[in-house]
Amino acid sequence: MYTTDPQVVLGTMDFGTRVAPDQAFAILDSFVAGGGVWLDTANCYSFWADPSGVGGASERVIGAWLRARPGARDAVRIATKVRQNPLVAHSWPQSAEGLSARAVHAGAEESLRRLGVDHVDLLWAHAEDRTVPLEETVGAFGELVASGAALRVGAANHAAWRVERARSLARELGVEPWTCLQLRHSLVQPRPLASVAEAGHRMLQPEDLDLARSEGLAVWSYTSLMWGAYARDDKPFPPIYDHSGTTRVLAVLDDVASELSATRNQIVLAWLMRQGIDPIVGVSRVEQIEEALGARGVRLDDEHLARFAEAR
């Protein structure tokens, strides 16, 4: 289904805002020392937590870390996103950057400048923009690959049919298609047809996995650890997860964690990777990324997967 083995991706959304630069440096150092490779950021991170009212803090911290660590660029792969960054401070979604060709090129150029690199390894379209012809967006992403500014391109929070339509347009235009999907996904699932409260989040659906399996696309998941809800009593699951299926899944989770001498979080991450999904993990402390990387050594078999499927 995928070209490489799934791995833990370091989510850097809070770097430079909720996570101070020195702590972010320590997390990045630990991640690389532990064999981690992929960093996930976005040009809009994290405008809602930044007094400036615009994004860019996360990319600037990564850029500063790269400058302070000679050779680090060769040790990591960087994924960033365009779309959503406010063009006017404290004005979102009214001034949210879109996916016109001009916006895509400008957003990518600014990201490269903040990161201090000549290319990113993966550039995402952070969300749909149906005010712009899809052909224009696809062409702009293709141009960035052709110029070497991005090595691969992908779609985050897009409907499966839009991704496939975009891939068809890329073939017609003779440009690089989107080859990666990023969607919200975790072991526990919300009630059917329930809407998530977080603006812009799109849940991974069966058709997304069906498309990925059919086309050989990579799948990344965000909110993989549910903001700490698996591990902390003071971080409850959102109300839409309050149903009997969650109770059953968590009971199986505890049993499997005990059997394999692993933490709840590690089992969740191992469950995602066992299905070929790369989980993004946002952390604020070194010990959290060390725990997450430990999930690579957890081996779930078909019987474990069956138990979780039955519980849901």
User: What are 275-307's pLDDT values in tens digits?
Assistant: 999 999 999 999 999 999 999 999 999 999 999
- Beta bridge pairs of residue 19: 15
Residue 63 belongs to domain with CATH number = 3.20.20.100
Q: For residue 3, tell me if it sits in a domain.
A: no
Q: For residue 2, tell me if it sits in a domain.
A: no
pLDDT in tens, 233-281: 999 999 999 999 999 999 999 999 999 999 999 999 999 999 999 999 9
Token pair recorded at residue 191: 């009630």
Mean pLDDT of the chain: 96
Work out the end-to-end distance of the chain between its first and last CA atoms, rounded to an integer number of angstroms. 24
Q: Which residue has the tokens 């370091």?
A: 10
pLDDT tier at 4 (50, 70, 90 boundaries)?
A: low
What is the Cα–Cα distance from 184 to 182, expressed in whole angstroms?
Answer: 7
Q: For residue 4, tell me if it sits in a domain.
A: no
Residue 138: name the closest of 97, 173, 98, 180 by CA: 173
Q: For residue 48, tell me if it sits in a domain.
A: yes
pLDDT at 193 over 90: no
Q: What is the reported pLDDT for 3? A: 43
Q: For residue 119, tell me if it sits in a domain.
A: yes
pLDDT tier at 53 (50, 70, 90 boundaries)?
A: very high
Report, as an integer, the average pLDDT of 52-61: 98
Report, as an integer, the average pLDDT of 168-193: 97
Specify whether the CB–CB gap between 181 and 158 falls below 8 A: yes
pLDDT at 2 over 60: no
pTM to 2 decimals? 0.96
Phi (first) and psi of residue 10, to 5 degrees: -85, 115
Q: For residue 258, tell me if it sits in a domain.
A: yes
Token pair recorded at residue 169: 């347009």
pLDDT in tens, 237-246: 999 999 999 9
Structural domain span for residue 156:
9-311
Q: For residue 239, tell me if it sits in a domain.
A: yes
Q: What is the reported pLDDT for 1? A: 35
Q: For residue 185, tell me if it sits in a domain.
A: yes
**Domains identified in the chain, total number:** 1
pLDDT in tens, 204-231: 999 999 999 999 999 999 999 999 999 9
